[in-house]
Structure 1
Amino acid sequence: MPRPDPSACDADALIDAVIDREGRYVNHPADRGGPTCWGITEAVARAEGYAGAMRDLPRSEAASIYRRLYWLRPGFDKVALRAPKIAAELFDTGVNMGTGTAVAFLQRALNALNRTARDYPDIAVDRDIGPRTLSALDGFLKARGKGGETVLLRAMEALQGERYIALAERRPSQEAFLYGWLANRIGDG
């Protein structure tokens, strides 16, 4: 299923698209996350209070977990007000790699694109959407205009793609997932 148009950055549409893409119950032997349902790992479901069988995790519970843990808690809703495409990418990457990793990609890209701090100061790569990260994003968008959002998105996706390949190189069992990650998580999917 193609990813929704991120220009509107409708959190419900993003969550529905991830759930549709992840599918129902899966327990792939090479998946280090263990059993998942709707893309939610058993460890996350348990930490969020779900006690039932993973095969029976309600879609609505998965959607609620995505909203709390992968949209609101990391502050991607705040990014969406400034740069909807970036927020959509943060959400999708955060679901697959962890929200801290997604934020680190944004922070690294912002630092690399600030023209040696002429457009805005470097920020710490602390994996947290805070006032400095939001200020750097504002500075980037002001300096580069709306077209800059696409370039920033490409930089983040390049970092994501490199991480997938490095993971498959380090752990050959993860090659089972590499094609799907690159096909469904990078670019338009």
Structure 2
Amino acid sequence: MEIEALIDDLIAREGGFVDHPADRGGPTRWGVTEAVARAAGYRGAMRDYPRSAAASLYRSRYWLAPRFDAVAARAPRLAAELFDTGVNMGTGVAARFLQRALIALNRQGRDFADIAVDGRIGPRTLAALAAFLDVRGERGEIVLLKAVEAMQGERYLRLAEQRPANEAFLYGWLANRLADPMEDGR
């Protein structure tokens, strides 16, 4: 899937302007929080944050900078999940999910050496991904995808348990980020 389509899907899912009282991120538009928009140089009202600015930010900060585009060259479905997870939880979190899964699946180093869990997609993470996919094939991408989703789901549950106000968002996080769109008719 191309990044433009991923961005379009993400923006459609996130919707327009939202300012939920339980959301620590404050006002958002197109899924971009006010703090992130300000850090990118936007100074206007969040209600007026341009869609084009959100798309540009998603492409540069959440696709290219964390090198999810490099993951997409070998594992496009996995890269799409990392992108979405990165937007919602931070790109470092998404990268750490991938790194942890790769380490746990390397059969105690028989398939490839352990890598650092540092939240950065670099040459070693990409080499580990390539080695894993060479050994496990196309199904390996699905296994990695499910492992990342499992860690993501656990984190959502923990966030709701640790802060009851987050229960307002839990169903949406799970439905919009983890449910298979083919299973729920979307």
| TM-score bracket for the superposition, by shorter chain length | over 0.9
State the Cα distance separating 1:117 from its structure 2 match: 0.7
Structure 2 residue 171 is matched with structure 1 residue 184: no
State the Cα distance separating 1:187 from its structure 2 match: 4.1
Q: Distance in 1 between matches of 2:62 and 2:136?
A: 28
Partner of residue 81 from structure 1, selected from 73, 77, 80: 73
Q: Distance in 2 between matches of 1:37 and 1:187?
A: 23
Partner of residue 30 from structure 1, selected from 22, 25, 34: 22
How does the TM-score come out when normalised to structure 2?
0.96
- Matching residue of 2:44: 52
Runs of 4+ in 1 over 4 A off after TM superposition: none
- Matching residue of 1:147: 139
State the Cα distance separating 1:188 from its structure 2 match: 2.2
Distance 1:114 1:148, change over 3 A: same
Q: Distance in 1 between matches of 2:82 and 2:22?
A: 25
Pairing of 1:1-189 with structure 2 (within 5 A) = 9-189=1-181
Q: Distance in 1 between matches of 2:66 and 2:131?
A: 20
Q: Structure 2 stretches of 5 or more lacking a match?
A: 182-186
In percent, how many aligned pairs have the same letter? 70
Partner-residue secondary structure (3-state), 2:83: helix
Q: Distance in 2 between matches of 1:41 and 1:170?
A: 22
Letter in 1 for 2:158: A
Deviation per CA, 1:80-106: give whole Å up to 9, x if none. Answer: 001001100000000000000000000
Letter in 1 for 2:139: G
How does the TM-score come out when normalised to structure 1?
0.94
Letter in 2 for 1:124: A
How large is the RMSD of aligned CA atoms in angstroms? 0.7
- Preserved CA contact (<8 Å) 1:71 1:91: yes
Q: Structure 1 stretches of 5 or more lacking a match?
A: 1-8
- Matching residue of 2:184: none
- Preserved CA contact (<8 Å) 1:157 1:187: no
Q: Distance in 1 between matches of 2:55 and 2:129?
A: 28
Letter in 1 for 2:3: A
Partner-residue secondary structure (3-state), 1:118: coil
- Preserved CA contact (<8 Å) 1:164 1:181: yes
